[in-house]
Amino acid sequence: MEVIFLPKSWNVDQILDDLDQHGFAIIDDVYPPEYIHALTEECTSHLTQFRQAAIQNGVMNQIRSDHILWINEDLNIAQHHIESLKQLSQNLNRAFYLGINDIEAHFACYNAGEFYALHRDNPQGKNGRMISTVYYLHAEWQDDWGGQLHLQDKNNHWHIIQPQPNRIAMFQSDLLHEVIKAKHQRLSITAWLRSDQLRL
């Protein structure tokens, strides 16, 4: 049996503490260069298969205009990222009793001019999404390129999170957030840590 450990750069205690205090956490320097390279290659080689993202009532490009590709077992490199998130989920379950037992993920590509308006990933605790995670995999991002994640934390304070390469932003899926219009191509993996125990 292959045993997979969390990447060493992930400070689990800090992540748990930040989620507990603020409802969100940032991890930087997530993966080594070889893995980032392979993952970016897997993402960009599939870009022609990305589809206009939909929200609950179908495609509505005044709400979001990015394109996505759902991740399945065929995307071998992305699977390692999912595995890391599964390991992290065990820590989250132990600390917060979240009951996370599934991960749902897609690549996302925002081309210049694309955005995602204010929303919650799990508005009334009804869809099983507990924690949202976004890993940024473009090679470079500058502060004036737009594309920031604008997030309201659990104490109602707003934060501007730059989509720095090799960064994970993770937050409670019930928190309000948006993606500001990007000025350059912005590549990411969004993954939701899910529980089947839906709240009523």
Nearer to ligand OGA, 95 or 184 (CB): 184
**Applying CB under 5 A, which of residues 18, 66, 114, 121 lies at the interface with Mn ion?**
121
177 touches ligand OGA by CB under 6 A = yes
Ramachandran region, residue 97 (left: φ > 0; alpha: ψ -120 to 50; beta: rest): left
Instruction: State how far the Cα of 46 lies from the Cα of 49, in Å rounded to an integer.
Output: 6
Q: Which residues pair with 109 in a beta bridge?
A: 67, 187
Smallest distance, ligand OGA to C-beta of residue 179, A: 5
Nearest in space to 151 (alpha carbons), one of 187, 190, 111, 179:
179
190 touches ligand OGA by CB under 6 A = yes
Six token digits for residue 140: 């470079």
Smallest distance, Mn ion to C-beta of residue 32, A: 27
E-assigned strands of 7-55?
24-27, 51-52
Residues 137 to 166 in contact with ligand OGA, rule: CB under 6 A: 149, 163
**Applying CB under 6 A, which of residues 116, 135, 141, 145 lies at the interface with ligand OGA?**
116
Instruction: State how far the Cα of 137 lies from the Cα of 181, in Å rounded to an integer.
Output: 17
Nearer to ligand OGA, 121 or 153 (CB): 121
Six token digits for residue 41: 């290659």
Q: Which one of Mn ion, ligand OGA, none interacts with residue 39, CB within 5 to 8 A by kind?
A: none
Smallest distance, ligand OGA to C-beta of residue 3, A: 30
Applying CB under 5 A, which residues contact Mn ion? 121
